[in-house]
Structures are given as structure tokens and as C-alpha cells.
Amino acid sequence: MEWLFELFHQVNYELPKFVQFLIVGLTLGSIYGLIAIGYTMVYGIIGMINFAHGDIYMIGAFQAMIVLLICGTLGISWVPLQLLLMLVVAVALTAAYGWSVERIAYRPLRGTQRLAPLISAIGMSIFLQNYVQLVQGPRPKPVEPVISGGVTVLTRADGFVAQLGYLQIVIVLLTVALMAGFTLLITRTSLGRAQRACEQDMKMASLLGVNVDRTISLTFVMGAGLAAVAGMMVTLYWGNNDFHMGFNAGIKAFTAAVLGGIGSLPGAMLGGVLIGLIEAFWSGYFTAEYKDVAAFSILVLVLIFRPTGLLGRPEVEKV
Amino acid sequence: MSKKFSLATLAVAATLVVACGEEKKEEAAAEQAPATTEQAAAEPAAAEPAATQEAAATPAATGGEIVVAVAGPMTGDLAAFGEQLKRGAEKAIADINAKGGVNGKQLKLEIGDDQCDPKQAVQVANDLVKKGVAFVAGHFCSGSSIPASDIYAEEGIVQITPASTNPDFTEVPASKGVKTIFRTCGRDDAQGVFAGPWLAKTYAGKKVAILDDKSAYGQGLANETAKNFEASGGTITIRDTYTAKEKDFSALISKLKDAAIDVVYIGGYHNDVGLITRQSREQGFNADIVSADALNTAEFWSISGPAGEGVRYSDGASAVNLDSAKDVVAAFRAENYEPEGYTLNSYAAIQAWAEAANKAGSVEGAKVADALRAAPIPTVLGELSFNEKGDLTKVNYAWYVWGADGKAVQEPLN
């Protein structure tokens, strides 16, 4: 029985550290996951990677920041109202960007070669970055913390505390709520049914009276809206926006989407959370130097054994 | 087409995106560079109408002008430093021209924007060579100054960096017999000699972590500090690196918190150090944070916010209060600009070159370089003497601490 007690003691000692990395990883993973959904939804329906999606997220972050600054000048200091305004305005404007990008850069190319919209997406990404660099300037924009402080979850014998920030709670809860809402939307509403129909066979869906163009547009709008939520969260969380921030986040989120199984909504979320956790635990228990290497190595390993990702369905060849 | 095929093309496309990401930066910079140059050329003329008119007779008499350049991150996330370099250079040029220029010729300033990107720096260097510059004050980042210096050295152009502190900048060319490379700031090893023993003494028996951002500047600095810290009997508890321009440092901070670190020394630029500071305090990690001269900008405070209180950095003892800088500082303040950071180093770089060129009676690289080494040169930073390698023979370092009011205050030298 002695060893059991010893083990319990050891676990009890290691727990706060573990919990701290769990909190950090989950928060980061939620953000990656929200962006990854935009990649995976678009891929699910039109089979194309929207490389401008990371930059849509960057646009969302800038919109949220601008709303926050306007709140400041108008004297709106009640935090819940600030958050609500940021959420509504940033999501609405960023969704408009998502819609426009689809209209301008992808729809005219639909039905042509597969690579054409992909190249167009890269062009859009470059355009959006340079546009923001020109209108907002190239320097990182600092944002004052809106929500700070947190609660102590666990305390270790030597005084180490696992801290859970209020903002981290908001981020994770908001992500869970959005995911629940989205699952309902896809499985229970007529729009969700139309999306699933387009995913399976676009031509057949249009023959059966589904407005394919509208469905695809709405998919882009929803993806951009979720990216805007992620952008708003990082504006509050890190408080440091620059025109280039969409690139790294986009690559990570894309990786998350592929890891989870591109085309699958729960997969994107799972992939995002996994990447966040791998980064956090790797930095914590090994070295922060190689955390990206760790994340990408896991991706490679998963793809070797499950080429369609963790939750992806094996592809049925369309004839 | 099957989706399997498209997944394979994704990998190719992803690399494309990466490549585009890099190229795009250069394009953006290339587009901006001429704009800033024009603006800069216009600015000193506008600022000093009296001076230009007064001196206007001289160039007409002797004919021609000498083109000199200042290069640094005029755009990008380190643009705050680029502005310091530019401001200092513009002022120095205006003052020198007002006094009759160099060897009777007026100076004209070109501005190079490298965004602290090594590839961009090489392009800027080639561009400046094409424009026939006689002298370059720059660049800012060690990672840019070093590759650019090869090009200037080949052309025999004198390069004086106001800010690059990596030892290799002068060390490597000196070992190859290049004599045209100088700096008006200290070296990382000198900064490490200053910071390392101080850390060992102040935090004796405490747990120390040393981080860097893997850049030429950050890593060089952290290595030198670590070496001197250990030589003074200190033990490093954690030695880790992060990626520059990362946004999320929370996992790294949790790790430091777990190891109950008392002081973190960071070799890195102000944006990252600011974010690390802010995220540390939010996570309830209250260790002292110590860094180096890259924090020498008000932008650090705007990023860290009130969390930055108590953060300290080492830097050359401020020249703002020196007698030799009194007039220039007053002139800057009259223009409503506080000559913070490297502004005076940049001013001094141009001043030193002009003085040496006057002494040598030529702007030829080798002759100016000899004149720079020959005798101490009076500048705003006081008398500067350069050694064989082109480093300053004497630099005084001091600690600066950010106060609650968002201003960094120099601690008394001891």
C-alpha cells in the first residue's frame, strides 16, 4: 500500500502543473479550432482550400480592435456591452469580407480548373495583408487589456499556482457554445441540410432545388464569422495585432483541419485543440524551441496511419 | 478530379504560400522605400530652410554633392527604431550642411528600408551601392547589418552601425582584413559582461532563466550573458528559446512559473519582451524581467502596458545628459522630438564620418577609415575612439528601469 500512497502523492504534486498546461493548451486550441472550422467547411463543400482564411481572421482581429477603440472614445466602459459590440460588429463586417472574397475571387472561377481558385485564394491573401498594412500601418497595434485577473485552480506545496484567467474561461465557453450552435445548425436546419447536400453532390443538389450559390456564399460568411470571433478573442487575449498575424495562425489552423480530417466539423475542433495541447505540453515538459516541430511531426504521423485525418471519412471516388 | 489528388497539391500550395509570404514582404518594402526616401529628402529641407539657403552658395561653387545613406527598419514591427536612426541622420546632415558640408560639398541623404529582414538588407545594400553612396549609417538589426556589410566592404564604402551589437559584425570582417566597418554602440559581449555578473550578484542563490528569440541579436546577447553569468558563479535553471513575432507565450511562462524562476533574462526585441511581460503578469508569474537595449523605445510600454513596471534593460549610459549632446538635444526638443534610443548614436555615426572625411580630405573608404582610427573624434556621444576592429574602445553601460509612468529611468552608475 505504501507505493500507492507514494504514487498518489506524486500525482497530487504534478497535478497543478499539468492543469496549468491544460488550460493554456485548451485556450490556444479553441482559437485554432475556430479558425480551422472555416477551412474545413469550405473544403467540405467546394473541395478548395481558402488560403485567404487566415487573413480573414486578421481582418476580424482588426475590426474588433477598432470597435474597442471606438467604444473608448464614445465612453462606453461597461465591459459586457463592449464585448457584445465587438462581437456583433466584428462578426458582421468580417462576414461581409468573407462574402466579398467568395464573390470576387472564387465564384467566377468555380467549375474551371481545380488549381485556379487556389491561386486566386493566395492572391486574395496577399491583397488582404497588404491592404491592412497600407491602411493600418505595419507596426503591431497594442490593445489595453479589457478583462484581466483570474482564479487560482490548484496550489502546489511549493507555492506554484495553476491560474485560470477569466478571459480564458470566456474563450473556452464561447467556443463550446459556438460549436454546439453550429452542430445544431448543420444537423437540424434546412440550411445545414442544403450544405450537406452540396457537399455530397453539388449538381444533384441544384437539380433538387437547392440554391447552390447561396449555400456556398453562406458557408463563407459563417466561416468568416467564426474567424472574426477568434480574431476578437486574440485581440483581448494577446492584445497585439499586426497585418501579418493571419499567416501563422492560418497555417496552424489549416494543420488542425487536416489533422482532424478536413471536411469534418468536429474534426477541425478536435485538431485545433490537439495542436494547442501539443504545443503547450511540449513547451512545458520539453522545450519551447521545438514546439512547432512537435505539432507538425504529430500531423505527419497521423497522416501516415490515417490519411484522411482523425475524424475524416475515407473518400468515395466521385464518378 | 479526386480529393486525394487535391490533398497532395495542398502541400505544394502550402509551400507556395510560404514563398509568397516572404516575397510579398520584400515587394511591400520595395514599394515603400522610394516613398520614404522622397519624404526624407523633403523633410530636412523643410525643417531647416534657413540652413539650406545659407549653405546654398557652397555646393554651387564647388559643384556636386556627396550621397550618404541611413539604413534600417523604416517599416515593419521595428519601425520605431528605424525612425530613431532616420531622425538622427537627418539632423546630423542638416547640421553638417549648415556648417559647409564635407570637403566643401553638401551631403544628400538616401534612406534604405530593410525591415530588419536579412534578404531585404542585401537588396537595400546593393541599391545604395548603385546610388553611389560614400557612407552608410546602419543597419539596425545585427541580422541585417552583417549580410549588408559584405556588400559595402566589397565596394570600399565605410559602414558605421549606430545600433547592431552582435560581436560578429566587426569581428568577422576584421579577421578578413576589412577596415571600413565601425559601430557607435557597444557589443553584446560587452553588454553580457555588464549583465552577467550583475545577475549573478543580485540574484545569488535565486533561480535564473535565460531566454532568447533565436535571432543574431537575441541569441548572441543571451549567450554572452549566460557565459558571463556562469563565469561569475551563477547557475542557469532554464535556458530556452522562443520564435520571434510569436503571439502566445503562455506555455513558456507556465514552465518558468513551474520552475519557480525568480528572474528571467531575455535576449530579444521589445515586441516579444512586451508580450512576455504582459502575459506573465496575467498568469500570476511575477519574476523580475531583465532584457537589453532593444527595450529602448516607448513602444515597449504601449505593448506591455502597466505590467511593464519594473522591467529593466541594459544600455549605453544615456548621452542625452552629456555636455557634448546638449545643443543637439535642445534642437531636437525644439522640434518636439525626444531623441530617445539610437537617435544620438545615428547622429554620432554621421558626425564621426564627416569629421574623418574632412580630416582625410577625401571620401574614399580606406582614407576615411584610417582617419576614424587615427585620433579620437569629438561627437555628440563625447570623444569616440575606435580600435583596430572598428569597435568603440570605451562604452559605459547602465541599467534602465521602466517606472509606473511608462518612462524608463537610468539607474545611477556605480
pLDDT, position A316:
55
| Radius of gyration, CA atoms only, chain A | 21
| C-alpha triplet B188, B77, B182: angle, nearest 5° | 35
Phi, psi of A161 (to 5 degrees): -115, 140
Question: B290 forms bridges with which residues in the sheet?
Answer: B265, B312
Phi, psi of B239 (to 5 degrees): -125, 110
- Burial of A170-199, coded b for 16+ CB within 10 Å and e otherwise, reads bbbebbeebbeebeeebeeeebbebbebbb
Distance from CA of B262 to the nearest CA of A (A): 13
Contact B252 A251 (CB under 8 A): no
pLDDT tops 70 at residue B22: no
pLDDT tops 80 at residue B35: no
Ramachandran category for residue B245: left, alpha or beta (phi over 0 → left; psi -120 to 50 → alpha) = left
Average model confidence (pLDDT) across chain B:
85
Q: Is the distance from CB of A312 to CB of A261 less than 8 angstroms?
A: yes
pLDDT band at B28, cuts 50/70/90? very low
pLDDT tops 50 at residue B2: no
CATH code of the domain made up of B189-316+399-410: 3.40.50.2300
Contact A24 B258 (CB under 8 A): no
| Contact residues, chain A, for B305 at CB < 8 Å | 142, 144-145, 239
pLDDT, position A119:
93
Q: Residue A252: name the closest of A10, A32, A16 by CA.
A: A32
Cβ burial of A132 (10 Å; 0-12, 13-18, 19+) is: buried
User: Rounded to whole angstroms, how far apart are CA atoms B325 and B303?
Assistant: 30
User: Rounded to whole angstroms, how far apart are CA atoms B237 and A88?
Assistant: 46
- Alpha helix (H) ranges present in B203-318? 216-231, 250-258, 270-282, 299-304
Element (H, E) at B4: helix B3-47
Q: Residue written as cell 497522416?
A: A303
Delimiting residues of CATH 3.40.50.2300 domain(s) in chain B: 66-186+320-396, 189-316+399-410
| Contact residues, chain B, for A240 at CB < 8 Å | 247, 271, 274-275, 303
User: Rounded to whole angstroms, how far apart are CA atoms B397 and B406?
Assistant: 21
Residue pLDDT, tens place only, B281-331: 988 899 999 999 999 888 899 999 899 999 999 988 878 878 889 899 999
Q: Is the distance from CB of A56 to CB of A94 less than 8 angstroms?
A: yes
Residue pLDDT, tens place only, B140-178: 999 999 999 999 999 999 999 999 999 999 999 999 999
DSSP labels, chain A: -HHHHHHHHHHHHHHHHHHHHHHHHHHHHHHHHHHHHHHHHHHHHH----TTHHHHHHHHHHHHHHHHHHHHHHT---HHHHHHHHHHHHHHHHHHHHHHHIIIIIGGGTTS-SHHHHHHHHHHHHHHHHHHHHHH-SS-EE---SS--EEEEEE-TTS-EEEEEHHHHHHHHHHHHHHHHHHHHHHHSHHHHHHHHHHH-HHHHHHTT--HHHHHHHHHHHHHHHHHHHHHHHHHHT-EE-TTHHHHHHHHHHHHHHHH-TT-HHHHHHHHHHHHHHHHHHHHHS-GGGHHHHHHHHHHHHHHH-TT-SSPPPPPPP-
pLDDT, position A108:
93
- Alpha helix (H) ranges present in B163-215? 168-175, 188-202
Phi, psi of A165 (to 5 degrees): -70, 150
Q: Is the distance from CB of B185 to CB of B161 less than 8 angstroms?
A: yes
Cβ burial of A126 (10 Å; 0-12, 13-18, 19+) is: buried
Contact B282 A148 (CB under 8 A): yes
Q: Is the distance from CB of B225 to CB of B193 less than 8 angstroms?
A: no
Percent of chain B with pLDDT over 90: 69
Residue pLDDT, tens place only, B235-260: 999 999 999 888 999 999 999 999 99
Q: Tell me which long-range contacts A131-139 makes (C-beta under 8 A, separation of at least 24).
A: A132/A55, A132/A58, A132/A59, A132/A62, A132/A243, A133/A243, A133/B28, A136/A62, A136/A243, A138/A242, A138/A243, A138/B28, A138/B75, A138/B76, A138/B77, A138/B79, A138/B115, A139/A242, A139/B76, A139/B77, A139/B79, A139/B80, A139/B299
Which fold does the domain B66-186+320-396 belong to in CATH? Rossmann fold (3.40.50)
Chain A (49-78) residues lying within 8 Å, Cβ to Cβ, of chain B: 49, 51
Q: Is the distance from CB of B282 to CB of A148 less than 8 angstroms?
A: yes
C-alpha cell at A25: 493548451
pLDDT tops 60 at residue B367: yes
| Contact residues, chain B, for A57 at CB < 8 Å | none
pLDDT band at B385, cuts 50/70/90? very high
pLDDT band at B6, cuts 50/70/90? very low
Bridging pattern class, strands A150-155 and A141-142: unpaired
Contact B76 A51 (CB under 8 A): no
C-alpha cell at B234: 551563477
Q: Tell me which long-range contacts A213-216 makes (C-beta under 8 A, separation of at least 24).
A: A213/A107, A215/A45, A215/A191, A216/A45, A216/A46, A216/A102, A216/A107
Question: B210 forms bridges with which residues in the sheet?
Answer: B239, B265
B74, B253, B258: best to mutate for the A interface, most A CBs within 10 A: B258
Rounded to two decimals, the pTM is 0.80
* Residue B373 DSSP SS3: helix
Contact A142 B303 (CB under 8 A): yes
User: Rounded to whole angstroms, how far apart are CA atoms B308 and A240?
Assistant: 15
Cβ burial of A208 (10 Å; 0-12, 13-18, 19+) is: exposed
Q: Is the distance from CB of A132 to CB of A243 less than 8 angstroms?
A: yes
Contact A114 B303 (CB under 8 A): no
The verdict on A126 touching B (C-beta cutoff 8 Å) is yes
The verdict on B242 touching A (C-beta cutoff 8 Å) is yes
| Contact residues, chain B, for A318 at CB < 8 Å | 2
The verdict on B21 touching A (C-beta cutoff 8 Å) is yes
pLDDT tops 50 at residue B12: no
- Per-residue pLDDT for chain A (319 aa), expressed as one digit of tens each? 788 888 888 888 889 999 999 999 999 999 999 999 999 999 988 888 999 999 999 999 999 999 999 999 999 889 999 999 999 999 999 999 999 999 999 999 988 888 899 999 999 999 999 999 889 987 889 998 888 888 998 888 888 889 999 999 999 999 999 999 999 999 999 999 999 999 888 899 999 999 999 999 999 999 999 999 999 999 999 999 999 999 999 999 999 999 999 888 999 999 999 999 999 999 989 988 888 899 899 989 998 999 889 998 776 554 4
Q: Residue B85: name the closest of B157, B163, B182, B145 by CA.
A: B163
Contact B258 A284 (CB under 8 A): yes
The verdict on A24 touching B (C-beta cutoff 8 Å) is yes
ipTM of predicted assembly, 2 dp: 0.89
Percent of chain B with pLDDT over 70: 85
Using CB atoms, pick whichever of B20, B252, B282 lies closest to residue A126: B20
Q: Residue written as cell 486566386?
A: A120
The verdict on A199 touching B (C-beta cutoff 8 Å) is no
| C-alpha triplet B221, B223, B228: angle, nearest 5° | 95
Question: A155 forms bridges with which residues in the sheet?
Answer: A161
pLDDT tops 60 at residue B52: no
Tell me the helices (H) and strands (E) count for chain B, helix number first. 15, 14
The verdict on B11 touching A (C-beta cutoff 8 Å) is no
C-alpha cell at A4: 500507492
Q: In chain A, how long is the greatest CA-to-CA distance?
A: 72
Cβ burial of B38 (10 Å; 0-12, 13-18, 19+) is: exposed
Chain B (243-302) residues lying within 8 Å, Cβ to Cβ, of chain A: 243, 245-248, 250-252, 254-255, 257-258, 260, 271, 274-275, 278-279, 282-284, 299, 302
The verdict on B89 touching A (C-beta cutoff 8 Å) is no
User: Rounded to whole angstroms, how far apart are CA atoms B190 and B198?
Assistant: 13
Contact B24 A28 (CB under 8 A): no
